[in-house]
Amino acid sequence: MSDLRIIAHSLPTAEAPGRPAPTLVERAYEHLLSMLMTVKIAPGERIPIDTVARQLGISQTPIREALSQLEAEKLVYKTTNVGYRASPQMTPEEVHDLYTLRLLIEPYAAARAAEHMDDETLSILQTIQKDMDAVVERNEQAYARFAEADAQLHRLIAKGSGNRLIEETIERLHAHLQIFRSLYQNSAQPNAPEIAAREHQLIIAALLAHDPVAAEQSVREHLSCSQLRMDRATGTRRD
Ligand SMILES: [Zn+2]
């Protein structure tokens, strides 16, 4: 999937000026994503396609397409007789280990990305920044968009590394959406998205300045702080 395609499918906001109206698949995707991220559809719960279709006043076809996108992102899975279910939550230990792996890879990727990023990617970064700033609106759609914007930022960094194996490794983790879903259930850290948004500002500034040292450092700090926040939220401190 190209970066532009990712932006197009994951930031569909009908009201936002300057953006094309979302397709039915995009509407279905955003609705389901928001329900999953805010745990209105609980982990393991069946997703009734006919009910969702009625709620949105659209046919089942775009909903099935949105579900197959969410399946690729490991947020839902398909079973033979039941249809789609929300994926189970990651355990706190899995979340901790995921950050450890990311800390080994992403700071390096960020340094390379700061050297390589072209103007088109840099302008996408500015769009991502806007979406992250919108999280202060504190509604659930903004929250889901923030999670998506976070996923895109880290994806662009991975791609910007110029190392396809790094890019694929990070992509395969599909970590971001899962992590945000866990975070939402842990109201112990209600300000985490705002704090993370500030950390992201430093990363984006370093990338825009083509500063590899600052990019590496800001990504390392962001991931270390995120790991600590998650450990506190899930009660998994390992000092
Ligand atoms: Zn992040």
Look at 31 and 180; give whichever has higher pLDDT: 31
Question: What residues pack around ion ligand 1 (CB closer than 5 A)?
Answer: 150
Task: Indicate whether 122 and 102 sit together in one domain.
Answer: yes
Q: How far is CA 14 from CA 28, 85, 141, in A?
A: 13, 27, 12
CA of 80 to the centre of ligand 1 (A): 35
Task: Indicate whether 200 and 110 sit together in one domain.
Answer: yes
CA of 196 to the centre of ligand 1 (A): 6
Q: Average pLDDT in the 122-142 region? A: 77
Task: Indicate whether 156 and 75 sit together in one domain.
Answer: no
Say what the pLDDT of residue 174 is: 64
Q: Which of 31-35, 61-65, 211-215 has the lowest mean pLDDT?
A: 31-35
Q: Average pLDDT in the 67-85 region? A: 90
- In a domain, residue 62? The reply is yes
Task: Indicate whether 99 and 196 sit together in one domain.
Answer: yes
Say what the pLDDT of residue 10 is: 40
DSSP bridge partners of 79: 83
CA of 10 to the centre of ligand 1 (A): 16
CA of 130 to the centre of ligand 1 (A): 14
CA of 231 to the centre of ligand 1 (A): 16
DSSP string, 7-71: HHHH---SSSTTSPPPPHHHHHHHHHHHHHHTTSS-TT-B--HHHHHHHHTS-HHHHHHHHHHHH
Task: Indicate whether 7 and 122 sit together in one domain.
Answer: no
- Among candidate residues 69, 86, 103, the one where a domain is terminated: 86
Task: Indicate whether 24 and 128 sit together in one domain.
Answer: no
Query: With contact defined as beta carbons under 8 Å apart, do 149 and 16 qualify?
Result: no
Q: Which of 125-134, 180-189, 220-229 has the lowest mean pLDDT?
A: 180-189
Cα angle 232, 201, 2 (rounded to 5 degrees) comes to: 100
- In a domain, residue 239? The reply is no
Backbone angles phi, psi at 167, to 5 degrees: -60, -45
Say what the pLDDT of residue 39 is: 80
Task: Indicate whether 155 and 225 sit together in one domain.
Answer: yes
CA of 83 to the centre of ligand 1 (A): 32
CA of 154 to the centre of ligand 1 (A): 6
Region for 89 from its dihedrals, namely left if φ exceeds 0, alpha if ψ lies in -120 to 50, beta otherwise: beta
CA of 204 to the centre of ligand 1 (A): 11
> Domain containing 160 — which CATH number?
1.20.120.530
Residue 219 burial by Cβ neighbours in a 10 Å radius (0-12, 13-18, 19+): buried
CA of 221 to the centre of ligand 1 (A): 10
Number of separate domains in the chain: 2
- Among candidate residues 46, 66, 86, the one where a domain is terminated: 86
CA distance 170 to 91: 19
Q: Average pLDDT in the 140-155 region? A: 78
Round the average pLDDT of the chain to a whole number and report it: 82
Give the best-scoring range by mean pLDDT among 5-9, 41-45, 92-96.
41-45
Say what the pLDDT of residue 33 is: 87
Q: Which of 161, 126, 124 is nearest to 7 (CA)?
A: 124
pLDDT at 1 over 50: no
Quick one: tokens of 126? 């500015």
Task: Indicate whether 163 and 205 sit together in one domain.
Answer: yes
Task: Indicate whether 156 and 206 sit together in one domain.
Answer: yes
CA of 95 to the centre of ligand 1 (A): 14
> Domain containing 76 — which CATH number?
1.10.10.10
Task: Indicate whether 44 and 158 sit together in one domain.
Answer: no
- Among candidate residues 86, 105, 122, the one where a domain is terminated: 86
Q: Whole domain around residue 20: which residue ranges?
A: 3-86
- In a domain, residue 104? The reply is yes
CA distance 92 to 84: 24
Task: Indicate whether 174 and 100 sit together in one domain.
Answer: yes
pLDDT at 143 over 80: no
DSSP symbol at 136:
G
pLDDT at 66 over 70: yes
pLDDT confidence band for 189 (50 / 70 / 90): low
Task: Indicate whether 55 and 103 sit together in one domain.
Answer: no
CA distance 177 to 217: 23
